[in-house]
Structure 1
């Protein structure tokens, strides 16, 4: 069956318009508030809390000094004058207060099992979530920073080119999602016999999806700098999985990208003598 493309042009225009509206729409007051709140909790809570915990977890620290730091840590972050609510997570607050109680209990009984139970939760639960919140906050605030820094240092005509390529790339990605949804719904309705869409509409959607995928792939090369600067590929889920199960493959890939390490220009180490 031949598809009448003309009658579906308004649909294509709607897909593109929706993509542009989704990607380049005016930021709402709610999003502005989110950015402001993220700046506040990163500065006042997440950053100091994360770095203090990182210091407590230092393996070279003595047990006595570690316990002193833990005393200071819980005294500080469970005090009434600290806006710990800016962690923005009831789960995280519950974990913090639960660990405070566990630590107090350990201080009273001085039992090894109590200490091990507390330490495991402190390291694998609280620290993990604080670190995640710290990284997510930085990612939200500074995701486009390196890209804008890179673009603004270029001549005007290059800035225009890079921003145009980015615009087309993000539009193509948005079109992929919308076209895939249209394929899903139109195909589902066609299978169950609901005449909500014209008979050949799902074929048109597949064509649009194919074109947007091809456009996305074609636009990846001129946008390689944008993708690199705005991604967190070294800590992505895929990289973590490969690192855990196939570390040698990841090591070879990194060597391929970065090249072999060359230590010829490393300065001489200070040879400190102990008497």
Structure 2
């Protein structure tokens, strides 16, 4: 079945321009506000709270000192001018306030069962949520930080090439979403015979989707550095793919390349029960 692409181009262009206009235009101001708020909550709440909780959990403290640190923690974030609201997450705020109330009951009752519940919630509930929020906020602020550092050190012609490849890659990914939506809605309208689109418009949308996916796959090798530097993972995109597909080969490759030399490692301190004076 032949598809007359020319008669669908105006409709597709209108939908595409409206969608991309929303993505790159209207959301720009919202993103700027989001970045501003995220900078504030990382600096004033997430980072201090996360590192204080991490210190309480990981340090081998005696019970008295641990409880004193918990006292300080809750007192700091329950004062009148507390910045805890900048966490910006009602679920996380509810978790914090519920735990603070439970800790207050423990301080009054000195009940060991309540203490066990308090500590479990502190370590496995509140801390996990604060850690997740801290990582997400930090990633939002610095997701392209390494990439920008990388491009700024390159000559202008290389910088132009890298930024052009990035723009094409991101545009292709956006086009994938738009095309998928076109296929979905045109297919639904065809099934329910609503007649909003021409009868074979969904075939045209499917064709555009296939072409955009092919273009995206072609652009991946040209954007490997961008994908790697903007990834959340500690490992590169290539290493994650190889590790999943052929982990044994990756292990052999690492053993071949990495030669661990322990000659320069300082001697370990051999602690004795009775130290020599």
RMSD over aligned CA atoms reads 2.5
Instruction: Name structure 2 gaps, 5 residues minimum.
Output: 236-242
1:19·1:171 contact (CA, 8 Å) conserved in 2? no
Q: Counterpart in 2 of 1:245? A: none
Higher RCO, Cα 8 Å, sep 6+: 1
Q: Counterpart in 2 of 1:269? A: 266
Per-residue CA deviations over 1:51-93 (Å, capped at 9, x if unaligned) read: 0000111152322221111111011111113221111122222
1:180 is aligned to 2:180: yes
Per-residue CA deviations over 1:203-238 (Å, capped at 9, x if unaligned) read: 111100000000000000000111111121359xxx
- Give the Cα–Cα distance (whole angstroms) in 1 for the partners of residues 248 and 91 of structure 2: 38
The 3-state SS of whatever aligns with 1:222 is helix
- Give the Cα–Cα distance (whole angstroms) in 1 for the partners of residues 104 and 64 of structure 2: 16
> 1:25-36 to 2 correspondence within 5 Å?
25=25, 28-36=28-36
- Give the Cα–Cα distance (whole angstroms) in 2 for the partners of residues 35 and 184 of structure 1: 33
> 1:35-114 to 2 correspondence within 5 Å?
35-58=35-58, 60-114=60-114
Q: Counterpart in 1 of 2:154? A: 154
Instruction: Name structure 1 gaps, 5 residues minimum.
Output: 236-247
The 3-state SS of whatever aligns with 1:167 is helix
Output the TM-score relative to the length of structure 2.
0.86
Number of aligned residues: 263
The 3-state SS of whatever aligns with 1:271 is coil
Offset at residue 185 of structure 1 (A): 0.9
Per-residue CA deviations over 1:218-269 (Å, capped at 9, x if unaligned) read: 000000111111121359xxxxxxxxxxxx9699379449713532157323
- Give the Cα–Cα distance (whole angstroms) in 2 for the partners of residues 254 and 157 of structure 1: 37
The 3-state SS of whatever aligns with 2:151 is helix
Q: Counterpart in 2 of 1:133? A: 133
1:19·1:174 contact (CA, 8 Å) conserved in 2? no
